[in-house]
Structure 1
Amino acid sequence: MSESNLIKTHSRFYLSVNPAADGRKMRSIIAEDPEWSLAEVPALTKLCLQCIVKNFTEKPILDELKPSHKSYVLERLSPSLPLTVTANLISDESYWRRCTEARWGPSDVTAYGNSWKRMFFERHLEGIIELFIPDVTDTRTVLELVPLCRNYVKRLKISQLLPPIKEPPRFDEDDESDCVSDAGSDGPSVDHFDFQILLDKLGNLEELHLVYGVKGCGMNFEWNLFEFTFRDCECLAKALKSCKTLQVFSVHRSKVDDDKCCILASHLLDHPSLLELDLSHNHIGDRGAKAISKLLNQSKLKKLNLYNNRIRGPGAQALAQALSRNTTLTSLVLRLNRIGDEGGQALGQALMKNKTLVNLHLGANKMTEPSAMALSRALVDNSTLKILNLSNNKLGADGGKVLEEGISHNCSLVECDLRLTDVDQESELYITQTLRTNQSLTGRKPHHSPNDEV
């Protein structure tokens, strides 16, 4: 192109970009290069940041950046980056929120201390444990995650634990007898996930909730899918003892019987931090209750939940004896057991000595008028108990009268559930009015928990 034509081309370009430079109406030029654009060339800084984002897995650069540049990179990082890269490098909550919602959809973070990073790692570790198959899943899938998540995991809620895959016995046509004996000698190394490999490594773990069962087994139902074995129990008990930071422990709907309860209780006797124990929906009887009573004497438990077990009078008497000396327990739930008047009277006598219990749930325990009399006498002297649930016990009209008398001398009780107790309406009305007076004096409103249903 000649110099004159080049000048003309530049002048047309200048006038198309700067129409104010000439009063005449000008047409925009058409570039010969189809990829040519009037878009502004990105700054070198931006190009460098884009390169950092693109190559973050191979060369993660973050802390060295200025705050504004760091924000730019974090907003553009993929939520699917390897955890080995991001876990201990990225603390930005917005990034972990994107990771969480990309995997599980919109989520409520309030139950995780409003920490998206904690929520992500707790749910991630829970998922690995819930899908762990003994002798099939490599334990390294759990152990390799520990250095990445141990600073952020405070609670684990395991809703299922899978048993080993049950293989049918194989028979050799040449020597059937030998093969049968060999097959009988082989077996899984563990019955469920062994928490001994994990709990002592989670230095911030405060809560552990377990169910030894399988969700959604459907037509593949077998009883062995819901079996908490002795080997499981021994492994779990040792793991609990090694987890010095644990404050809340529950294993429910897992067929924990007296023998297994004794094993768990013996390993928790000197636990330095355990405050809440939930063994609800199991098969615990009197021997198990006696083992727990020893735990009450030596531990710092504040809450004990034995809802829906098989505890009868002797077991309740052992718990009552421990309760009369205990100075830490604030809540005891014995709903849906079989303590009867033998246990009800013992607990009433314990309340005359106990000075710390605030909540006592004795619903559906086959108690009658003698239990009401013992509890009534206790309420005359007890100034600590605030919530008493006696629902679904056959206390009768006379039982209601004696409770009415005891509550009339009490200023601390603010709730007393008497549904389905055959207490007459006059007594129930008087008790309700007295409780309202106590509520106004203490400024406490009635509290209804999910376990309050009859």
Structure 2
Amino acid sequence: MFIFYIYQLVKIYMEYMLKTPSMCSISLLFSRNHPTQWKAKIKMRSIIAEDPNWSLDLVPSLSTLCQRCIADTVEEKYLFEKLPPELKDSIQSRLSLSLPLHVTADLVPDGLFWKRSCQQRWKICDISQYDNSWKRMFFERHLENLIELFIPEETEFKVILDALALCKNYVKRLNITQLLLPSRKFVKGRDDDQHEVATLANEEEDDPSTCHFDFAIVLAELIHLEELHLVYTIKQCGMNFEWTMFQITDRDCRALTIAFKGCKALKVLRIRQSQIDDKKCRPLLRCLMDHPTLIELDFAHNILRDGGARSVAELLSKGRLKKLNICNNEIDVHGAKILAQALSNNSTLRYLNMRLNQVRDEGGQAIVEALENNTTLTYLHLGGNDLTSLTAVVLSRVLLKNDTLKTLNLSCNSLGEVGGKALAEAMVQNSTLTECDIRQTDIDEMNAASINKVIWDNQCADAEKQNHDVGILVRLDGKDNNKSIMK
């Protein structure tokens, strides 16, 4: 009977905590007919457990208590390291996110703890961009934030060094979207001080403070770094706007040339929207001539012009580039001819994007004619280059011979009826081109429809070929497995 009264007291307390008290339960406690009324009331009530982990066990199991103890004392590494993998996963859900990085960096493997850490710091977490590794995402974005907020002459470089010691084994890509300059350079005073500000601007070349963040030490430590994306700009400059905030300096270029020498695993280099001209790109590309692993170069939306195109052509003739993006760089006819000559002798490049330049017909014809000798290029973008029907006619002759080009973009050029007719006639005899963008080219509907029909037929034939190749590989794998089983 004593146990029954205790149960009723607990029940009344739970009802009070849930703010849904039942007065009949109080009367039930003092009623003489306990069993009958208790059974009647229990049928009228139900318990809904909103917590999927809720349990009737009032005392946690010994295993749970041990996991809690280990999670609270994770800094004693010898306990955590001896656990089996399934228990490590369970403890990761209990670890505090305020633990210092020097404890968790090498101790906690990729898993739930790093997922929680990423989701706490950033709203958007696309793990597919980081080889499905939460730990890699955390350390890459952590280091990126430190570099983007680094202010020369003010931020201590020890902050970067401490982070490097923890991040270097997990960082494969750095995507830097802004680089700050010394704040004193942009402090504007009275009219009396304008002469001093102008003097500072004139002495920019000799003043080391005008340099952005120095990547030399960082790239030397990041032994697994494969991709480097840089934009020399400032996102929120406010009323202190100056054009110098949005360009790379000569001193920055010299610093990068030194930094690239220590980055032996670099495969992709992107420096966009940074006002790189022919003078600044020359030392950058010269140091990349003999780079052992670089396969992709992206200098889009800069001002390379013809002088920069010459440096790019030298890299094409000596390097191992497979992908090159130099769109919107004010490259003219002369620069296009130099690139065409390098392209005709190149045997590694597969992707070339030259849209939004001014190569015109003379430069466009030179690039197209280079495809007669080139047997590796599969993607070519010449959109928005002031091309006319003259280039289209030359291209139609090349398409009869070239059997490697698969994607061609000619959008935003005035090819006209003549150019459209020449391309349509050539496409009938081409079986490799599977994508051809001819939007905004003034090609008439009949020729455009003819070109698109051939493209569709080529896509279907290519898909059938791929399916056939896959079927052959599957059959060969099956035969090899059968042989190994018989042995």
TM interval, short-chain normalised: 0.7 to 0.9
1:112 touches 1:118 (CA, 8 Å); kept in 2? Answer: yes
**Equivalence for 1:281:** 301
Judge conservation of contact 2:110–2:134 (CA < 8 Å) in 1.
no
Does residue 121 (structure 1) correspond to residue 139 (structure 2)? The answer is yes
**What do residues 57-101 of structure 1 show as CA deviations (whole Å, max 9, x unaligned)?**
466731123455534432211112111000011104111001111
Q: Is 1:52 aligned to residue 91 of structure 2? A: no
Matches within 5 A, 1:324-403: 324-403=344-423
Residue type at the aligned position of 2:382: L
Superposed CA RMSD:
3.0
3-state SS of 1:61 partner: helix
1:135 alignment partner in structure 2:
153
Separation in 1, partners of 2:342, 2:188: 50
Please show how residues 21-60 of structure 1 align to structure 2 within 5 Å. Answer: 46-57=64-75
Mapping of 1:19-418 within 5 angstroms? 46-57=64-75, 61-67=79-85, 69-105=87-123, 107-167=125-185, 187-189=207-209, 191-418=211-438
Pair 69,14 (structure 1): closer, same or farther in 2 beyond 3 Å: farther
Query: How far apart, in 2, do the equivalents of 1:392 and 1:439 lie?
Result: 24
Give the Cα–Cα distance (whole angstroms) in 2 for the partners of residues 160 and 423 of structure 1: 42
Distance 1:62 1:76 in 2: 13
Q: Are the aligned partners of 1:57 and 1:85 in contact in 2 as well (CA < 8 Å)?
A: yes
The answer to whether the 8 A contact 2:229-2:269 is kept is yes
For 1:287 and 1:303, locate their aligned partners in 2 and report how far apart those are by CA, in whole Å.
20
Unmatched 5+ residue regions in structure 2? 8-32, 36-55, 466-487
- CA distance change for structure 1 residues 12 and 321 in 2, over 3 Å: closer, same or farther? same
Deviations 1:138-161 (A, max 9, x none): 111111111211111111111101
Structure 1 residues 75 and 436: CA distance shift in structure 2, 3 A: closer
Return the alpha-carbon distance in structure 1 between the equivalents of residues 78 and 220 of structure 2: 31
Work out whether residues 340 and 367 of structure 1, in 8 Å CA contact, stay in contact via their aligned partners in 2: yes
Q: SS of 2:79's equivalent?
A: coil
Percent same amino acid at aligned positions?
48
CA contact 2:331–2:357 (8 Å) conserved in 1: yes
SS in 2 for 1:269: coil
Match of 1:452 in 2: none
**Cα deviation 1:339-365 (Å, max 9, x = unaligned):** 011111111210111101111000110
Q: 1:335–1:216: structure 2 CA closer, same or farther, 3 Å change rule?
A: same
Residues 1:39 and 1:190: Cα distance change in structure 2 (over 3 Å)? same
Instruction: For residue 400 of structure 2, give the secondary structure of its aligned residue in structure 1.
Output: helix
Determine the C-alpha separation between the residues in 2 that align with 1:227 and 1:67. Answer: 49
| Pair 45,202 (structure 1): closer, same or farther in 2 beyond 3 Å | same
**Letter paired with 2:132:** N
Preserved CA contact (<8 Å) 1:305 1:333: yes
Deviating more after overlay: 417-426 vs 225-234 = 417-426
Distance 1:187 1:291, change over 3 A: closer
Q: How many residues in Structure 1 have an aligned counterpart in Structure 2?
A: 412
Q: 1:148 to 1:190 in 2, by over 3 A?
A: farther
Q: Deviations over 1:377-405 (max 9, x none)?
A: 11110000011111111222212222223
Write the distance in 2 (CA, Å) between the matches of 1:289 and 1:314. 9
Q: 1:115 to 1:12 in 2, by over 3 A?
A: same
Q: Provide the secondary structure at the position in 2 that maps to 1:145.
A: helix
Superposed CA offset, 1:85-128 (max 9, x none): 00011104111001111111352211111100000011101100
Distance in 2, matches of 1:408 and 1:68, equals 61
How far, CA to CA, are the matches of 1:439 and 1:49 in structure 2? Answer: 57
In the alignment, the residues of structure 2 paired with residue 116 and residue 106 of structure 1 have an alpha-carbon distance, to the nearest angstrom, of: 13
Give SS of 2:81's match: coil
For 1:363 and 1:39, locate their aligned partners in 2 and report how far apart those are by CA, in whole Å.
Answer: 69
Between the aligned partners of 2:203 and 2:356, the Cα distance in structure 1 is 41
Contact 2:110 2:133 in 1 (8 A): no
Contact 1:206 1:246 in 2 (8 A): yes
CA distance in 1, matches of 2:161, 2:119: 25
Q: Unpaired runs of 5+ in structure 1?
A: 1-10, 18-23, 27-37, 446-454
Equivalent residue number for residue 20 of structure 2: none
